[in-house]
Structure formats: C-alpha cells, structure tokens
Amino acid sequence: MRIRESSPTNPHGDFGSAPRSTDPNRRFAAEKAFSSVLVSTVREAVGNALGHNVLEILTAKGLLDDANNSKEFDRKLQSIFGNGAAVLERIVVKDLNRKLGIPYNSEAGLDYEKSLETAREVCFVESRLK
C-alpha cells in the first residue's frame, strides 16, 4: 500500500493513487457523510450569496434535490442563473475545499464535476484513515 505523502500544496498526499475501499459499508457511510457535507455547503453558499429567501425558494423548486448529482445540479443552476451559476459553483467548491482541507486555486478554471469528485475522494480517504 502506498504511503501517503503530503506537501504544502498537496496536503492530502497523492490520494488519487490510493486504493479505493472495497468495504461497501464503509464506502456507504463515507458517501453519506460526504453527501451531508455537500448539501449543507450548497445551502450555505446560496444562502450567504443571495440570502435565505432565495435559498428557500430554490429549495422549494427542488434545486437541492440534485446537489449530489453534480452534472444535473450544474444544469439546473445554469438554467436559473446563466453565467452566475459558475460564481455560485466556485463559492460551493471554495467552501467545500476549506472544510476538507483541500487547496483552492482561484486562478484555475473550474470544473465543478471534477472538483466535487476530488472532494468526494478526499472524504473517503479521510474516513478510511480514521
């Protein structure tokens, strides 16, 4: 098993090459934990950017139902906010990365789906190490 190496720019080491957990129960628990963090992060991002009235309206319209499906969530955000969707996604990713200790680069282009996948894997690795 590869020893986890970390650096200031990659504090969680080369998690990409760490073997995935084969324990389905552990994987399920980690997935659930990540889902919870992601949904709360999305809620905070929308609430902090546009206020709680807007958050409640979008929740009632089912936007948060797809928070865990990054592709569908991105599509819905685009339909509501147009170019503004990218700004909200950056706020989500920034906050999610901060919670998980992942560095965030504001200069780089944002791939929302990839960013969430990275965050998901970090969450799984962390849960395996506990």
Closest listed residue to residue 118, CA positions, set 104, 108, 130: 104
The distance of closest approach from Cβ of residue 15 to another protein in the complex, given in angstroms and rounded to an integer, is 24
| Residue of 11, 16, 51, 101 interacting with another protein (CB under 8 A) | 51
Q: Does 109 bind another protein (CB under 8 A)?
A: no
The distance of closest approach from Cβ of residue 54 to another protein in the complex, given in angstroms and rounded to an integer, is 5
Query: String of b and e for 67-96 (b: at least 16 CB within 10 Å)?
Result: bbebeebbebbeeebeeebbebbbbbbbbb
Residue 64, class by beta-carbon neighbours within 10 Å (0-12 exposed, 13-18 middle, 19+ buried)?
middle
Question: What sign has the CA pseudo-torsion 71, 88, 119, 16?
Answer: positive
Q: Does 8 bind another protein (CB under 8 A)?
A: no
Total residues found in the chain within this entry: 130
Residue closer to another protein, measured from CB, 21 or 86: 86
Residue closer to another protein, measured from CB, 8 or 24: 8
Residue closer to another protein, measured from CB, 15 or 81: 81
Residue closer to another protein, measured from CB, 24 or 62: 62
Closest listed residue to residue 73, CA positions, set 113, 32, 114: 113
Interaction site with another protein (CB under 8 A): 45, 47-51, 53-54, 57-58, 61-63, 76, 79-84, 86-88, 90-91, 106
